[in-house]
């Protein structure tokens, strides 16, 4: 970026509301919280990305099951994903982050006008951007959006584990869960507020179900085959045989992915984080191992209040 643009960006960032989060500062841009290095790329992607009608865009707030979808969507879309030969599976050699690039963390992180002309269609992308911040062309073109969300109590616990691992690698002490919880309830966490993020996609999915497939982590855990079949139909890639669905579910399972060499020992080059941190327990209700009664009450009440009248519930 040219030095004048860098100066303008720094000036803009300095004007934005700021809050501490896991040993760094988050900045609020247009109602959502960002780390400074994601802010410039989010702004660039939001203004400059041109969607194509056959693109697939995976969207989510953080720690809601995105990595599972990052594995499943390419496996559904790539003909190799349905073949019997497991040795051809791209997941063997690539962490799911590499199969479906992030607009703000990868594609727009270095250059605000990246050359995407060599990408083969259908292109797959992901983003943690909230619905109002999405590039206009994603909203107006024929591309499909898959949104995944999760019980905010488990999302919060998953975020704590992940972020404490990230800061531990820099020698920073863990952030006490009680402080992180207050911050989460105020909506202060990267890409949050969680409830606003979910509601934006939920409301739009009700208006345009053919455009946005709204998925829940808990539904995936309960009936992975049924959910993957629905997703494949939504993406225009229905399965012919039951064995094909079983294969996709198995290839993308936590048990398999977390034990692959690449995911145990690789490092995410964009974030400098060990790939292993993307795979943890993957259960519904892990919050029960961490929450006090007061925390449960507070977050459930907040969720009920925020979602009131929307027809959405996420408590498990
Ligand atoms: P991201 O926002 O950094 O991409 P994301 O993948 O959304 O993270 O969330 C990570 C959670 O998904 C972890 O949950 P946990 O902390 O409660 O365990 C992780 O274990 C879980 N996860 C990752 N891959 C899978 C998978 N293949 N199946 C089920 N859960 C998964």
Structural domain includes residue 48: yes
Q: Looking at residue 279, what is its pLDDT? A: 97
Q: Looking at residue 211, what is its pLDDT? A: 98
Structural domain includes residue 131: yes
**140 has pLDDT over 80:** yes
pLDDT (mean) for 65-92:
91
Structural domain includes residue 313: no
Model confidence pLDDT, tens digit, residues 276-315:
999 999 999 999 999 999 999 999 999 999 999 999 988 7
Q: Looking at residue 204, what is its pLDDT? A: 98
Q: Looking at residue 50, what is its pLDDT? A: 98
Q: The domain containing residue 87 runs over which residues? A: 1-308
Query: How high does pLDDT run on average in the chain?
Result: 95
Q: Looking at residue 83, what is its pLDDT? A: 78
Is residue 282 within 6 Å of ligand 1 at its C-beta? yes
Model confidence pLDDT, tens digit, residues 18-72:
999 999 999 999 999 999 889 999 999 999 999 999 999 999 999 999 999 999 9
Structural domain includes residue 158: yes
C-alpha span between 194 and 158 (Å, rounded):
13
Structural domain includes residue 225: yes
Report CA(117)–ligand 1 centroid distance (Å).
Answer: 31
Per the residue annotation, which of 37, 38, 113, 128 is the catalytic one?
128
The verdict on whether 290 is a catalytic residue reads no
Instruction: Report which protein residue has its CA nearest ligand 1's atom 8.
Output: 63
End-to-end distance of the chain based on CA atoms, in angstroms?
46
Which residue is it, tokens 């109590």?
Answer: 153
Model confidence pLDDT, tens digit, residues 97-120:
999 999 999 999 999 999 999 999
Model confidence pLDDT, tens digit, residues 203-219:
999 999 999 999 999 99
Report CA(13)–ligand 1 centroid distance (Å).
Answer: 30
Tally of structural domains, the chain: 1
Q: Looking at residue 1, what is its pLDDT? A: 57
Q: Looking at residue 67, what is its pLDDT? A: 98
Is residue 158 within 6 Å of ligand 1 at its C-beta? yes
Which atom, in ligand 1's list, is nearest to the CA of 161? 16
Which atom, in ligand 1's list, is nearest to the CA of 221? 29
Of 94, 127, 194, 279, the residue with max ligand 1 atoms within 8 A of its CB, to mutate for a pocket test, comes to 279
Of 221, 258, 277, 282, the residue with max ligand 1 atoms within 8 A of its CB, to mutate for a pocket test, comes to 282
Is residue 180 within 6 Å of ligand 1 at its C-beta? no
User: Domain containing 133 — which CATH number?
Assistant: 3.40.50.300
C-alpha span between 279 and 257 (Å, rounded):
8
Report CA(218)–ligand 1 centroid distance (Å).
Answer: 12
**In the β-sheet with 32-34, what is the strand arrangement from edge to edge?**
18-21, 24-29, 32-34
Kindly state the percentage of the chain with pLDDT values over 90.
87
Q: What backbone torsions phi and psi does residue 264 show, to the nearest 5 degrees?
A: -85, -35
C-alpha span between 297 and 274 (Å, rounded):
34
Q: Looking at residue 11, what is its pLDDT? A: 85
Model confidence pLDDT, tens digit, residues 233-254:
999 999 999 999 999 999 999 9
Of 22, 65, 96, 221, the residue with max ligand 1 atoms within 8 A of its CB, to mutate for a pocket test, comes to 65
- What is this structure's pTM? 0.96
Structural domain includes residue 316: no
C-alpha span between 108 and 270 (Å, rounded):
11
Q: Looking at residue 120, what is its pLDDT? A: 93
Q: Looking at residue 270, what is its pLDDT? A: 86
């Amino acid at each position: 970026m040219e030095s004048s643009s860098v100066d303008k960006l720094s000036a803009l960032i300095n004007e934005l509301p700021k809050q501490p989060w896991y040993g760094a500062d988050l900045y609020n841009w247009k109602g959502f919280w960002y780390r400074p290095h994601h802010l410039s790329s989010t702004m660039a992607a939001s203004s400059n990305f041109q969607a194509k009608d056959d693109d697939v865009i995976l969207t989510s707030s953080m720690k809601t099951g995105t990595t599972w979808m990052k594995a499943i969507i390419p496996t559904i879309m790539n003909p190799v994903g349905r073949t019997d030969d497991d040795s051809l599976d791209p997941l063997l050699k690539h962490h799911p982050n590499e199969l479906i690039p992030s607009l703000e963390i990868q594609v727009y992180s270095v250059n605000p006008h990246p050359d995407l002309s060599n990408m083969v269609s259908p292109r797959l992308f992901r983003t943690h951007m909230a619905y109002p911040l999405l590039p206009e062309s994603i909203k107006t073109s024929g591309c499909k959006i898959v949104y995944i969300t999760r019980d905010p109590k488990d999302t919060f616990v998953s975020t704590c584990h992940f972020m404490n691992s990230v800061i531990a690698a820099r020698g920073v002490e863990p952030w006490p869960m009680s402080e992180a919880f207050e911050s989460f309830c105020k909506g202060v966490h990267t890409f949050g507020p969680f409830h606003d993020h979910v509601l934006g996609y939920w409301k739009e999915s009700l208006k345009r179900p053919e455009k946005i497939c709204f998925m829940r982590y808990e539904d995936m855990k309960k009936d992975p085959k049924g959910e993957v079949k629905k997703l494949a139909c939504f993406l225009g890639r229905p399965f012919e045989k039951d064995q094909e669905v079983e294969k996709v579910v198995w290839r993308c399972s936590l048990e398999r992915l977390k034990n692959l060499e690449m995911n145990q020992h690789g490092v995410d080059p964009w974030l400098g984080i060990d790939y292993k941190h993307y795979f943890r327990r993957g259960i519904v209700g892990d919050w029960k191992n961490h929450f006090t009664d007061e925390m449960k009450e507070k977050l459930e009440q907040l969720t009920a209040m925020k979602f009131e009248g929307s027809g959405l519930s996420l408590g498990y």
